[in-house]
Amino acid sequence: MNQSVTVNFVLEQVITWVIIGLIAGIPAYKLRMSRHYRLCLPWLLTVLCIIVLTATSLPRAQASAATFRVYLGFDDGPVAGPTDRILDVLKRYGVKATFFIEGSHVATNEDILRREIQEGHHLGNHLWLHELAVMSTNHPSTAILLARYQATQDAIHRALGETLWTIYNQEEPVKPFRWPGGAVVAFPRTDVITYNWQVSATALSIVSVKRIVNNILYGSPAGGTYYGVYAWGDEVVILLHDPTPATAYALPSVIENLLAHGAIFSTLPRPEDTPGAMPIVIGSIPVCARQPDNCTHLSR
């Protein structure tokens, strides 16, 4: 996407400057120069123009290409094995992500939480576990919710120890939060931002690598609920799951494809989002979905 914009820009400019160079060289024919100079001067001017173009236009083209920030969010961890493999892949590519922690998963996996902070990732709160009483659609009591939230924060605190806990709070004064099952309302705290997602790897635990890659890059199968990352563009939030065995094995293809399209991987919260808010509404559609080709020009 960004690369093709740059290539088109450069080609357009090269053609323009070749024409200008040839025109600029015409006076050589008018002057009483030797045949040798009359033949060479237009081409010398053309080459000079291309050199100037290369030095000046590339940075301009790249700066004009759209920013493409991508937020990977992994839910339901930490899980020994799968989360380790996910972290290995992220480290290999130098990619940062956000892990939405289930408090009940922390005990016995404290080392994974420490590694996540040490390697520059962010931690979000995903409550204690996926119980119906805390699903946003089941209108849970505020008292229960706040207790589940705090229990998870306490588990994170115990796992990290004081030094990493301090780093975590400095890095994330406003915490990303994700409801188990997604949300219809924002979580009732002003120091969190409630994140749903625009792109989902899958809701299934047993799924192929190919399916995850396709779901993320191009959306769910035809007629599905979700559009892929390229339909959403900048600031897209992607939902993945730690316990899904295929997640780690799908990540290299996803990351390589996104990097080739200029993606910058960042950690939640997104800088423009407001504390206490729920910036992504489940069921919303990308801008291109309202256009005649329904985002198909951004698929495959």
State the residues that interact with Zn ion by CB under 5 A. Answer: 75-76, 180
Minimum CB distance to Zn ion smaller for 46 or for 198: 198
Q: If you search the block for the tokens 């939405």, which residue do you land on?
A: 100
Q: Closest approach of Cβ 133 to Zn ion, in Å?
A: 15
Query: For residue 270, which amino acid is it?
Result: R
CA distance 258 to 265: 9
CB atoms within 10 A of CB 242: 26
For residue 73, the minimal CB distance to Zn ion (Å) is: 10
Residue type, 118: Q
Nearer of residues 1 and 151 to Zn ion, judged by Cβ: 151
Minimum CB distance to Zn ion, residue 169 (Å): 23
Q: Are 232 and 198 in contact (CB under 8 A)?
A: yes
Give the C-alpha separation, 264 to 236, whole Å. 11
Residue whose CB is less far from Zn ion, 75 or 235? 75
134 vs 160, which CB is nearer to Zn ion? 134
Q: Which residue's structure tokens are 């990308």?
A: 286
Instruction: Pick between residue 205 and residue 274 the one whose CB is nearest to Zn ion.
Output: 205
Question: 88 φ, ψ to 5°?
Answer: -60, -45
Q: Show the beta-strand stretches assigned E in 234-291.
A: 236-241, 264-266
CB of 56 to Zn ion, least distance (A): 50
The β-bridge partners of 71 are: 237, 266
Of residues 75 and 273, the one with the C-beta less far from Zn ion: 75
Q: How far is the CB of 112 from Zn ion (least distance, A)?
A: 16
Residue nearest to Zn ion (CB): 75
- Cβ–Cβ < 8 Å for 178, 126: yes
- Which CB atom, from 110 or from 131, has the smaller least distance to Zn ion? 131
Smallest distance from Zn ion to CB 76, Å: 4
Which spans in the chain are helix H?
A: 2-25, 27-30, 35-64, 82-93, 110-118, 142-171, 209-218, 229-232, 247-260
What does the alpha-carbon distance between residue 299 and residue 282 come to, in Å, rounded to a whole number?
21
The least distance separating Zn ion from the CB of residue 255, rounded to whole angstroms, comes to: 22
